[in-house]
Amino acid sequence: MPGTFEPLPGGGASVALDDVEISIIRSLAVQLLELIGPGPAEDAPADPLAELFAEGPSEPPSDPVLKRLLPDAYRDPETPGTPREAAEQRAHSAEFRRYTENDLRAGKRENALAVIHSLNALAPGGEGPAVLELTPDESRRWLGALNDLRLAIGSRLEITDEDDTDDFYRLPDEDPRKPMVMAYLWLGGLQETLVSTLLP
């Protein structure tokens, strides 16, 4: 899957994607949306003021992928300190999460939706790959979504450090992790080339 982003004149980026690549990215983005979940007021009456002051959860999510996507702000597992310091960190993290997690989830949902909408706008099944062209703002949304997808897959693969990926290059084809590893590495390549298009 050789698709790489290239800069467009005047800003933005383009990438050629075949039908399989489009299908993979769309499927992963939809799964990410399902994981993040609906917004806090999506099943409530339309009240912008209520949504503005809606509080989020104070406890970290139990799913390890969501923990990676929505990490604690103040807790440092490497240096927990005294029990009192650890309790203070938990309290600060809970307070921070209560007022920021809803917005963080909303941003991740918007990024994933931007990916899906831009892929849906491509002309279906022509000769050769389709060329996706993104504005600078769409490029930033794609970058956020690609990062979230890699974090999610990396969490499922239990990757804690980029150095952990070295062994994945040598996985045998029959290893059940192989498709997920290939997606992780491919998305990393896409992410890296997209970053380069956004640099001045």
> What pLDDT digit, counting tens, does each position of 132-176 carry?
999 999 999 999 999 999 999 999 998 877 666 777 778 888 888
pLDDT, position 1: 41
Q: Is pLDDT of 91 > 80? A: no
Q: Does residue 121 fall inside a structural domain?
A: yes
Q: Does residue 95 fall inside a structural domain?
A: yes
pLDDT, position 78: 58
Q: Does residue 57 fall inside a structural domain?
A: yes
The parent domain of residue 113 ranges over: 7-198
Planar angle of CA 70, 91, 32, nearest 5 degrees: 10
CA terminus-to-terminus distance, the chain: 27
Q: Is pLDDT of 177 > 50? A: yes
pLDDT, position 95: 74
Domain count, the chain: 1
Report the C-alpha gap between 125 and 173 in whole angstroms.
29
3-state secondary structure of 186: helix
Question: C-alpha distances in angstroms, 104 versus 10, 98, 111, 131?
Answer: 30, 11, 11, 30
Q: 75: which 2 tokens?
A: 């807790």
Report the C-alpha gap between 76 and 196 in whole angstroms.
31
Q: Does residue 168 fall inside a structural domain?
A: yes
Report the C-alpha gap between 163 and 69 in whole angstroms.
20
Q: Does residue 2 fall inside a structural domain?
A: no
φ, ψ of residue 153 in degrees (nearest 5): -65, -40
pLDDT, position 116: 97
For the stretch 89-97, contacts whose Cβ atoms lie closer than 8 Å and that sit 24 or more positions apart, written own/partner, are 93/60, 94/58, 94/59, 95/58, 97/56, 97/57, 97/58, 97/59, 97/60, 97/70, 97/72, 97/73
pLDDT, position 49: 54
Contact 64, 137 (CB under 8 A): no
130-134 vs 6-7, strand pairing mode: unpaired
pLDDT in tens, 107-141: 999 999 999 999 999 876 567 889 999 999 999 99
Confidence of residue 47 (pLDDT cuts 50, 70, 90): low
Q: How is 103-153 classified by DSSP, letter by letter?
A: HHHHHHHHHHHHHHHHHHTSPPS-SSPEEEEE-HHHHHHHHHHHHHHHHHH
Report the C-alpha gap between 177 and 172 in whole angstroms.
9
Taking the model in full, what pTM does it have? 0.81
Q: Does residue 193 fall inside a structural domain?
A: yes
Q: Is pLDDT of 104 > 90? A: no
Q: Does residue 1 fall inside a structural domain?
A: no
